[in-house]
Structure 1
Amino acid sequence: MLALLAPWRSLRVVRRLGYVSLDPFVAMVAFPIIAALAGVTIGMASSIILLPAAVGTAWLASVTARGFGRVERSRAAALLDVAVADPHPPLHGSWWQRLLQRFTTASRWKELLYFGVHLITSSIAFSLVISLWSGSIALLVLPLVRPALPADTARFWLFDITTTPGALGAAAVGAVGVVVAAPWATVAISSLLGRLVRGLLGPGAEVAYEAQVQQLQASRSAAVDAAEAERRRIERDLHDGAQQRLVALAMDLGMAQERFDSDPEGARALVAEAHQEAKAALGELRDLVRGFQPAILGDRGLDAALSPVIARLPLPVHLDVRVDHRPPAAVESAAYFIAVEALTNVAKHAQATRATVTIESAGGRLAIAVTDDGRGGADPQRGTGLAGLQERVQGLGGRFQLVSPAGGPTSLFVELPCAS
C-alpha cells in the first residue's frame, strides 16, 4: 500500500508536476527565438553578400541554444533529480576555429534538435498530465458541485451522473486518481521528459567513455603513486629503525664474544645491552607490521579491527560502524587504513581533545567520516600523511573531501565504491 504512495514521498510528485507545467511555457519562449535565428541564417546563407551576416546569426543561434540548454539542464536537476553534465567541450584555437567547432560538434546539433521537438513533447506531456489531474479533481468534488448543475446532472462524454450514489462512486474514482493514478502518471511522463533531456542535452556516449577513460587513468596513476609511497615508507622504516637496531645487536654480540675470557663482567653487560636492542628491534618491527592489514580485520570486520587501534590513542575517540553487509576485502582494507592514518594525524598534529569516526554503507558506497576538535588548518600539501591518504582514495575511484579551517574543527569525508 505504501508503495502506491511513493510519488508523494519528499513531495516528489509536486516537483515533477511543476516541471511538466512549466515545460511548454519554456518551449514557447525558446522555440520561436531559436527557430527565427535559424530561419534567418538559412535565408541569408543563400546570398554570398549576406554570408557574413549569416555566420553571425548562426553563432547567435548556437549561443542562444546553449543558454536555453543550461536552463533545461538546471530545471531537470532541480525538479526531476536528473543530473545532466554540460556536453560541450571547451573551444580552442582562433576565433575562426572556435566558430567551426560550434557547428561541427554533435552535441550542439543535438541541442538544436532538442528545441526543435521540445514544443511538441512538452505540449503533449502537459495536456496528458493536466487532463488527468483536472479530471480526477473534478470527479472528487462532484458530490459537492452536482446540486448546482442543471437538473442535478453531471454530463460526461460517455455517461451522465444523476444520483447521489453515482456522484459518491465518481468521487471514489477521483480520489484514486488524485492519490495514485495522476501522481504515477506524472512521474512516468516526467521521467520520459528527463530521458529526452539526458539524451539530447547531455554528453554522448563517446564523451562519457572518454571521461571514464580519463578517470580510470587518473585512478591508476594515483594507485601506483600510493603503492610507491607505501613501499618507500616501509623501506625507510626498516632502514632507519629495525636495521640499525640489528646492526647494533650484532656489534654488541661480537664484542661480547671477544670479552668472554678476558672480561666476563663486560661481556655480560654487552649481552644485556644486546638483549635490550633485540627487544627494541622487535618493538619497531611490531609497529611496522601494524601498518599492514591485521588478521582481525578479515575475521571480524572494521569495528573489531579499529577498536584496539583507538584504545592505544592518547585521546578519547568515539567509533560508530554501521555496515549492514561487509564490503569487499579490498574496500574494507582501504577503509581500515584510511581511518588509522586519519587518527594518527589527529594524534600527532591536531592537538585535539576528542575525535569521532563514523563508517556506514549506503547506496553501494562506503562512507568514512573522521572529525576532531583540534586546531584545524590541515592541508594534504604539507606532507602530514593526508596526501598519501588522498592518493589511496583516488586510486580506488573514491571521493576525498577535507574541511579544516584554521582554529578547527577538522572533518575528513571519504566515500569508496563498494558494490560487489
Structure 2
Amino acid sequence: MPNVVPMTSASTDARTDARTTGPLALLRPLSSHRTWQATFHAVAGMFLGAATGVVVVLLGVLWWAAVISLVQGANGHWLLTALYVVVALLAPLAVPPWVRFISALQRERFRALLGVEIAAPGHAPGSGWRSILRPWTTGATWRQLAYHLLTPLLGGLGGVVVLACWSAPVLLPLSVGTPSGPEYLLRFVGAIALLFAAPWVARGVAGADTAVARHLLGRGQAEELAERVESLARSRADLTSAADSERRRIERDLHDGVQQRLVCLAMNLGMARATLTTPTEEALEVIAAAHDEATAALAELRDFVRGLHPAVLDDRGLDAALSGVVARAPLPVKLRVDVPRRCSPSIEAIAYFAVSEALTNVAKHAEASRAEVVTEQVGDRLVVTVTDDGRGGASSEGAGTGLRGLAQRAAAVDGGLTVVSPPGGPTTVTVSVPCE
C-alpha cells in the first residue's frame, strides 16, 4: 500500500506560496484587501481634502475682505460696518473649533478605512476668554492646522494619482486623436503598467498620509510625556493607597483575632495563677512564666499593630493619634495641631508615622531634653515639623536613622522631607505632603 502523506497547513501554505510566485503573483496585489483599503482611503482623503481646501479659502477670503474693508474705511450702512467687524473678530475664533472638528473626521477616516488609531491631542481647559484664546497658544492647534493646509496637496493630489493609475486602461480608448499602431501599443503598455502599479501607489500614498497624520494630528511628544507622567502619578497614588488599605486590613485582623485571643489567654492564666489553692511549686512556676510570656507577647503585638496603622487615627483623627505618640515619648514633647479639615487617610498615616519616626530618632540618637511637634495645614498641603534640642548631625541620607524611608514615603505622594541638623543642634525635620 503506498504511503499517503497527510495534507497539513504548512504544505498548503507552501503550495500557495509556490503558486503565487509565478505569474499570478503579479495579479495578487490587485485584489488584496490592503490595496483596496489604501485606495478607498486615498479617494476619501481626496474629497475631504477638497472640502477642507474650499473651507480654508472661503474663511481666508471672507476674513481678508472684512479686514481690508475696515482698514480702507467701509462705505455704506453702519450694519455693513458692524458685519465687517463681526467677521474680522469671529473668523479667527472659529478656526480652533473647526480644526478640532475636521481633525476628528480625519482621524475617523484613518480608523475606519485603515484601522489606524491616532490619539487626539488634549484640549486645553480654561474659562471665559481663556477658553477662546488658549487654543491658539497650543502646539496641537498649529500642528493640526498645518495638516489641513497640506491636505489639499497631499490628499487631493495623492487621490488623483491613485485614481489615474486605476482608471488608466479605461481612459485609453478615450484618448484624443487616432494614434498609430506603435503609439497605441505604447499607450496600452503604459496603461497596463499604471494598473499594476496602482496597488503600490495607493499603499505609498496611504503610508505617507499616515506618517504625516501621526505627527500632526496626534499627540505631540510633550503631551505624551505629560500623559505618561500623569498616569505614573495616578498609579503611584493608587499603590500608596492600596498599601495603606492593606495595612489597615492587617491591623483589623490582628486586633480582632490574635490580639483578642492573647488577651483571653493572659486573663485565664492570671486567674489560674491567683485562684489555685494548692499548686505545686513547679506548676506555679510554669503558670507564672506562661502568664508573663502571654503578657509580653500581647504588649509586643499591640506595638506591632500600632506600627502598622493606629486605629485611633481612623476613629478620632490626627490630633488624637499624635497625642498618643507624644504621650508615649520618653522625653517632654510639646504638641500643636492646626488642621481645620481632615486630609485623606493615606496622608494622615504619613503624617502620623513621620512624627512617630522622628520622635523615635530623637529618643535614640539626639540626646535631647525636649522636643516640639507642629502639624498645620498650609494651603493645600499638610506640613509636619519636629524640632529637638539635641546634638544634631542627623541626615536623611543615612541608612540607619529611618529618615530615608520617611523621605521615600513622602515622595510617593509628591511630598518632601527636609532635615536641618547642624552639629550641636538643634534639629528640625519638616515633612510636607499634599492634603489629597
Question: TM-score if structure 1 supplies the norm length?
Answer: 0.48
Question: TM-score if structure 2 supplies the norm length?
Answer: 0.46
